[in-house]
């Protein structure tokens, strides 16, 4: 039975690749347009939000700066989360620096012999999160024109990671490394150059993967697969087909969140869940960055759980932030009424006085004639 299943999967892969070849051969314009838009997204969003963080994170791990964590913080993180003191910077930095940064730091720790493979696979699902540039720049500013939306997403995703870390504290304590590798902090100009070059290659891998997924999204959209999936999602979540279609595209590539309608706060929990998960494209980026050294099984399970947690946390805290948004929307209307020009009112008073005087003059004239 297993043999037949493997053959069926292999045949499905061959058919999918053949269908993609035929489609892109016939619709070169649509594929080129999608790839061009994805490259523009990389230039506008991905590279500005990630490149500097990739360099800094690479410098932190390569130089051995993770060993500088005070022992009191190490004891506290070991007690609460089961995370060693040297792993705490990777955990905290990975949640806020950008999607591939945490996993990239774990791979570098493994390459230096300071981290076990099994433990790195467990930590990979925790040391993960979108960067502030993506959350506040792409989502908060473009979709909501409000910083509160970004704060809701950031709080939801970080809270989901912390809850997962608490739940995984027992297996993390069991896989704690008994060996102690000596650490020496060393920073040099050659190290900086090497980190910049390696980060540049990593960014190239990420952007190429985004462009490939943009072409795949275009193919799915043209064939109606995305529309069908969006309609099904809309029926399950009481959303319309267009919003469901964009959410499906964002599930494949999280940067497609920027295509959602602006100002719809009801979509924020879904956006928070997608941000916590990262999307299929990010999974492929991580696979390329790790070069297959780490299994993605634990990662996918933990990020799926984080997406569910982030969805409900966002729904729980969103009303507190929306209250301020309602006030901010109403304030300009009040101030605009208070700051209106007095000229129309003055002109209205003058015209009223002129009409009264004119009417009074005519009445006096008629009264004189009658006498």
- pLDDT tens for 247-274 read 888 888 888 888 888 888 888 999 999 9
Whether 90 contacts 109, CB under 8 Å = yes
146 contact partners, CB below 8 Å, separation of at least 6: 140, 325, 328
In 3D space, the residue among 85, 92, 21 whose CA is nearest the CA of residue 57 turns out to be: 92
- Dihedral, CA atoms, 90, 96, 98, 104, nearest 10 degrees? 0
Q: What is the pLDDT of residue 272?
A: 92
State both tokens at 233: 């999602």
Span 161-200, pLDDT tens digits: 999 999 988 888 877 654 455 556 677 788 888 888 888 8
For residue 261, the 8-state DSSP code is P
100 contact partners, CB below 8 Å, separation of at least 6: 50, 54, 202, 206, 282, 285, 286, 289
Segment 13-38 shows an average pLDDT of 81
Task: Count other C-beta atoms under 10 Å from residue 287's C-beta.
Answer: 17
* Higher pLDDT pick, 202 / 275: 275
- Dihedral, CA atoms, 281, 287, 289, 290, nearest 10 degrees? 160
**How many angstroms separate the CA atoms of 230 and 145, rounded?**
26
245 contact partners, CB below 8 Å, separation of at least 6: 221, 226, 227, 229, 230, 231
**How many angstroms separate the CA atoms of 335 and 341, rounded?**
12
**CB hemisphere CA count around 86 (13 angstroms):** 22
**How many angstroms separate the CA atoms of 34 and 23, rounded?**
14
Span 119-137, pLDDT tens digits: 888 888 888 888 787 888 7
**How many angstroms separate the CA atoms of 312 and 295, rounded?**
28
Q: Report the greatest alpha carbon distance in the chain.
A: 121
- Under the banding of pLDDT at 50, 70 and 90, the label for residue 329 is very low
- Break the chain into its structural domains and give their ranges: 2-177+189-330
Q: What is the pLDDT of residue 277?
A: 92
Is the backbone of residue 16 left (phi > 0), alpha (psi -120 to 50) or beta? alpha
* pLDDT reading at 6 higher than 70: yes
Q: What is the pLDDT of residue 1?
A: 65
Q: What is the pLDDT of residue 361?
A: 52
State both tokens at 142: 């473009």
Whether 84 contacts 78, CB under 8 Å = yes
Q: What percent of the chain has pLDDT over 70?
A: 82
In 3D space, the residue among 23, 264, 246, 2 whose CA is nearest the CA of residue 144 turns out to be: 264
110 contact partners, CB below 8 Å, separation of at least 6: 116, 117, 120, 293, 294
**How many angstroms separate the CA atoms of 55 and 46, rounded?**
14
């Amino acid at each position: 039975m297993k043999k037949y299943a493997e053959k069926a999967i292999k045949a499905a892969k061959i058919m999918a690749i053949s269908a993609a070849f035929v489609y892109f051969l016939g619709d070169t314009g649509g594929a080129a347009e999608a790839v061009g838009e994805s490259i523009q997204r990389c230039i506008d969003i991905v590279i500005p939000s990630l490149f500097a963080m990739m360099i800094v994170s690479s410098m932190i791990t390569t130089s051995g700066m993770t060993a500088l964590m005070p022992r009191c913080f190490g004891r506290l993180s070991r007690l609460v989360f089961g995370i060693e003191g040297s792993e705490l910077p990777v955990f905290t930095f990975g949640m806020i620096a950008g999607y591939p940064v945490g996993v990239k730091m774990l791979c570098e720790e493994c390459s230096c012999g300071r981290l076990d493979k099994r433990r790195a696979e467990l930590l990979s699902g925790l040391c993960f999160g979108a960067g502030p540039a993506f959350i506040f720049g792409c989502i908060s500013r473009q979709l909501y024109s409000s910083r509160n939306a970004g704060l809701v997403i950031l709080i939801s995703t970080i809270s989901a990671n912390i809850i997962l870390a608490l739940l995984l504290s027992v297996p993390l304590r069991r896989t704690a490394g008994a060996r102690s590798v000596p650490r020496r902090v060393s920073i040099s100009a050659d190290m900086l150059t090497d980190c910049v070059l390696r980060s540049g290659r990593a960014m190239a891998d990420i952007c190429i993967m985004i462009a490939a997924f943009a072409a795949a999204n275009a193919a799915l959209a043209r064939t109606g697969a995305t529309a069908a999936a969006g309609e099904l999602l809309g029926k399950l979540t009481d959303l319309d087909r267009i919003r469901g279609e964009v959410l499906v595209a964002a599930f494949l590539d999280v940067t497609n969140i920027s295509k959602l309608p602006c100002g719809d706060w009801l979509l924020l929990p879904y956006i928070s869940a997608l941000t916590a998960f990262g999307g299929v494209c990010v999974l492929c980026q991580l696979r390329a960055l790790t070069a297959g050294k780490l299994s993605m099984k634990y990662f996918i399970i933990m990020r799926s759980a984080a997406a569910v947690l982030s969805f409900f946390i966002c729904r729980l805290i969103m009303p507190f932030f929306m209250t301020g948004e309602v006030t901010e929307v109403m304030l300009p209307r009040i101030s605009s009424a208070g700051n209106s020009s007095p000229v129309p009112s003055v002109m209205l008073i003058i015209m009223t006085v002129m009409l009264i005087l004119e009417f009074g003059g005519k009445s006096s004239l008629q009264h004189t004639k009658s006498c």
